[in-house]
DNA sequence: ATAATTAAAATAGTAATACTATCTTTACAA
DNA sequence: TTGTAAAGATAGTATTACTATTTTAATTAT
């Protein structure tokens, strides 16, 4: 399915496009693994360079700093999600069923997808759960937003909001509802793992967390006429 | 109303209780102002010490590191919120009206409250909006949780969930709903300020952001039988 | 085939961060 | 007056987050 797709991202996200070179792809691959295991705060370019057998200076030719690399990775994820959603709903006629599928993909992104050769999607999904909000929760947010760094996330939200408006054109909170649902998907997954008393979602038999029922209950209750 | 209340927090949150000494209170007061203006990443104990006319070493006698100080401040905020909620709903008979008041307090915490002499609540609220999730989005979360560092937040959520269960005892997602609503209140306020296309909430005439209508629409739609 | 260009490695260095340690001064209490 | 604890003063360390420079290797253009 997603094997070999090339994801092109806003050029402000990097200095040199990491998709273009072996070293660039290695930076992405290795940083995903390392941020997943170390957490974003403990992750450094020095450790990354050491792990890759490269140098700090080489990495700085691709990304100005580790925060930009995080923004890049999260953006990559949203583009990948948009693609997954697109190919999975295009043959569904009913808008309500399309939305159910969308929520399922958002809540269970690593189920039922073909392995991507480049990026460890399961690790990236864990990064999204724990670190995604740090990509915008920064004093730089307005500056970065002006440069279009959150465009991929915003486009994904808009597409889903448009589906909602198809079902209920009078609903005035479509954008808020969508961003809430996406953020909630990751947040509740985090709570299920670390602060279980804040949620009702539990691991199922396969040790997986499925927030999609909660999300769809909220969504369809909210937009009911 | 809240003038002079002394808020007592889990003793694992600090080394020496900052409420006990002048220097301690100064640390809290000044750090709230500085984290608000600089953002958490740019804020350091060195800058704080310099601003206070004290020394780094002195601050380290109160908090092991700046992250713990953040956890302390956020925890302080939830205790303060719980208190605001308590005194504001105790004379309301109807549970539904109580919940509406709760959402109003969560969404508009700085409206209609008596000034606290110690802490700049408006600055602290801005910190909550931009930095609160960083208090738990860390690799240390399980360790900190075990020590009870998130107990105040969890207790607040539980109290609100109990109100919801009073209205609809069969609702299976009460905890998830509450944590979603609280997180959403701050998130949508952030989006309204910095990523407006992700929300439908706009500043009103007084330049204030009021998410409470959105929250109540979601809440009551979700728990409707 | 050679020269020109570019990528990346190797090395070095700096300012700031996140601490830790120690010693002195001050204050107040026993 | 002596003891104790808080806080100030000072110093120092390892790590972080970079920047700069030089060298080597690989590609591409002529």
Nearest to A216 by CA among A107, A109, A133: A107
The pLDDT of residue A73 = 96
The pLDDT of residue A186 = 98
Instruction: At B186, list the tokens.
Output: 């701050």
Task: Compute the distance between CA of residue A13 and CA of residue A62 in angstroms, rounded to an integer.
Answer: 9
Centre a 10 Å sphere on the Cβ of residue A106 and count the other Cβ atoms it contains.
22
Centre a 10 Å sphere on the Cβ of residue A137 and count the other Cβ atoms it contains.
21
- Is the C-beta atom of B138 closer than 7 angstroms to strand C? no
The pLDDT of residue A9 = 87
- For residue A209, list its beta bridge partners: A203
- A103-128 pLDDT, tens digit per residue, is 999 999 998 777 766 899 999 999 99
Q: Answer whether B209's CB lies under 8 Å from B192's CB.
A: yes
Q: Which residues of B touch A162 (CB under 8 A)?
A: none
The pLDDT of residue B113 = 75
The pLDDT of residue B3 = 42
The pLDDT of residue B2 = 37
Is A170 buried (19+), middle (13-18) or exposed (0-12) by CB count in 10 A? Answer: exposed
The pLDDT of residue B11 = 86
Tell me the shortest Cα–Cα distance from A197 to chain B, in angstroms: 7
Domain range annotation of chain A: 73-223
Q: Answer whether B71's CB lies under 8 Å from B144's CB.
A: yes
Tell me the shortest Cα–Cα distance from B188 to chain A, in angstroms: 7
DSSP B104: H
The pLDDT of residue A3 = 42
Within its chain, how far is the Cα of B170 from the centroid?
Answer: 29
Q: Answer whether B74's CB lies under 8 Å from A171's CB.
A: no
The pLDDT of residue B71 = 97
The pLDDT of residue A11 = 85
Nearest nucleotide to A46 (CA to C1') is D16
- When the pLDDT of each residue in chain A is averaged and rounded to a whole number, the result is 93
Distance A73 CA to D14 C1' (A): 30
Tell me the shortest Cα–Cα distance from A6 to chain B, in angstroms: 26
Q: Which residues of A touch B41 (CB under 8 A)?
A: 138-139
Nearest nucleotide to A68 (CA to C1') is D17
Mark the nucleotides of strand C covered by protein, meaning any atom under 7 Å from a CB: 7-13, 16-22
Domain B11-223 has CATH 1.10.357.10: yes
- Is the C-beta atom of B42 closer than 7 angstroms to strand C? yes
Task: Compute the distance between CA of residue A62 and CA of residue A47 in angstroms, rounded to an integer.
Answer: 16
Residue stretches of chain B with pLDDT short of 50: 1-3
The pLDDT of residue B121 = 96
Kindly tell me if the per-residue pLDDT of A88 is higher than 60.
yes
| Percent of chain A at pLDDT exceeding 70 | 96
The pLDDT of residue B117 = 66
Kindly tell me if the per-residue pLDDT of A36 is higher than 90.
yes
**E strands in A178-221:** none
């Amino acid at each position: 399915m997603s094997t070999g797709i090339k994801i092109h991202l806003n050029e402000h996200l990097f200095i040199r496009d990491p998709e273009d070179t072996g070293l660039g792809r290695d930076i992405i691959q290795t940083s995903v693994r390392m941020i997943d295991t170390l957490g974003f705060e403990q992750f450094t370019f020095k450790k990354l360079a050491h792990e890759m057998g490269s140098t700090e200076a080489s990495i700085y030719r691709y990304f100005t700093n580790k925060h930009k690399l995080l923004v890049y990775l999260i953006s990559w994820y949203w583009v990948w999600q948009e693609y997954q959603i697109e190919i999975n709903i295009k043959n569904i006629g009913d808008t309500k069923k399309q939305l159910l599928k969308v929520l399922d993909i958002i809540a269970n992104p690593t189920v039922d997808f073909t392995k991507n050769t480049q990026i460890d999607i399961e690790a990236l999904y864990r990064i999204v759960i724990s670190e995604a909000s740090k990509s915008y929760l920064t004093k730089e947010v307005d500056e970065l937003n002006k440069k279009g760094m959150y465009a991929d996330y915003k486009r994904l939200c808009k597409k889903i909001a448009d589906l909602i408006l198809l079902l209920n054109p009078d609903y005035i909170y479509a954008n808020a509802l969508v961003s809430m649902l996406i953020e909630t998907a990751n947040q509740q997954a985090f709570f299920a793992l670390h602060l279980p008393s804040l949620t009702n979602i539990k691991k199922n038999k396969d040790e997986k967390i499925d927030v999609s029922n909660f999300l769809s209950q909220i969504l369809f209750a909210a937009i009911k006429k």
